[in-house]
Amino acid sequence: MTTSVLVPSSLAREAEDRREATRKLGYVARAAAVYRVDRLTVYPDPDGAGKWEDGFVETVLRYAATPPHLRKEMWGKRDELEYVGVLPPLRVRSQTGSGSEGSGSLRQGIVTEVGADGRVRVNCGMQHPISLPVPADMDVEQGERVTVRVSSRRPVRAKLVDAPTTGFDVVAADLDAALSRDDAGLTIASSRYGEPVTSTRLGQLAERRDAEGGMTVAFGAPERGLPSILDVASDAVGGDQTSDEPEGFDLWLNTVPNQGSEVVRTEEALFASLTCLTLTE
């Protein structure tokens, strides 16, 4: 099961300052962590570009997804990260708390040096980077994120393991490319103009999502919903879509059918949508 979320590069377009824009993106990252999203894709929306520099949204989300003990090593100081102190902690299980300290626990690390003797130095949140042998079936490069199994901290006993890093990945891709991935699963557009989600419909959605091996859910931007971004008439979306329609979604869904506010913010829509769409039967 793979869960992917698509957000536009114009996601923070209405934020008055960089601090508020960063805070908004922090809520998006929190939603991705809470609902165990595997991949958070930032797709381009050049027509909706706001005051923030190109790549701002992707950079802040990538930083938020980086385990705290790796952020300084990976990012240093950048203008886009001026206010990352307002980001809420994600507290992904293997990054913080007892799950990261116990014997045999998995930690994320970054390769800081590759030696000629088949060993690498890895920063994984210990007091100093540690030297580890590279398993014969692994190929790692400097700067790469890796998974380390720590069996003892004093003395340090650890090894590289071929296991996926925890949390979610942040990537940039065109909307069409993201929707056509082999692991895209059930593709859903979140829009106030979509088919209202009901308790009866949820069971059908869960069954279809599981049958297709996961789902990809796309969201729009402030004052630019998906119909506007895709140049699709709002009255043309809703219900199942045919495969030859330009938007490329299986479903257009309204996950807040009785909204009391004129506008549901994107970060609010993520929580509302993923709450119901990740339910099991």
Q: Where are the domains of the chain?
A: 2-91+167-278, 97-161
Question: From CA 154, how far away is CA 167, in angstroms rounded?
Answer: 27
Question: For residue 98, what are the contacts with CB-CB under 8 A and spacing of at least 6?
Answer: none
Q: From the CB of residue 69, how many other CB atoms can be counted at a distance below 10 Å? A: 18
Which of these CATH numbers, 3.40.50.300, 2.40.50.140, 1.50.10.20, 3.40.1280.10, describes 2-91+167-278?
Answer: 3.40.1280.10
pLDDT for 102 equals 46
For the chain, the average pLDDT equals: 88
Q: pLDDT band at 240, cuts 50/70/90? A: low
pLDDT for 256 equals 93
**Is the pLDDT assigned to residue 130 strictly greater than 60?**
yes
Q: CA 188 → CA 1, 89, 281, distances in Å?
A: 15, 28, 18
**Is the pLDDT assigned to residue 4 strictly greater than 50?**
yes
pLDDT for 49 equals 82
**Is the pLDDT assigned to residue 131 strictly greater than 60?**
yes
**Is the pLDDT assigned to residue 74 strictly greater than 90?**
no
Segment 123-144 shows an average pLDDT of 88
Q: What value does the CA radius of gyration of the chain take, rounded to a whole number of Å?
A: 20
Q: pLDDT band at 93, cuts 50/70/90? A: low
- Indicate the class that CATH gives domain 97-161: mainly beta
Place of tokens 């908004």: 24
Please tell me which residue, 23 or 124, carries the higher pLDDT value. 23
pLDDT for 97 equals 37
Is the bond preceding residue 222 a cis peptide, omega within 30 degrees?
no
> pLDDT tens for residues 8-40?
999 999 999 999 999 999 999 999 999 999 999
Q: CA 50 → CA 54, 80, 163, 225, distances in Å?
A: 9, 14, 39, 15
pLDDT for 241 equals 53
pLDDT for 195 equals 92
Whether the domain at 2-91+167-278 and the domain at 97-161 fall into the same CATH topology: no
**Is the pLDDT assigned to residue 103 strictly greater than 80?**
no
pLDDT for 94 equals 54
Q: What percent of the chain is modeled with pLDDT above 90?
A: 59
Q: pLDDT band at 124, cuts 50/70/90? A: confident
25-29, 85-89, 103-107, 216-220: least confidently modelled range: 103-107
**Is the pLDDT assigned to residue 95 strictly greater than 70?**
no
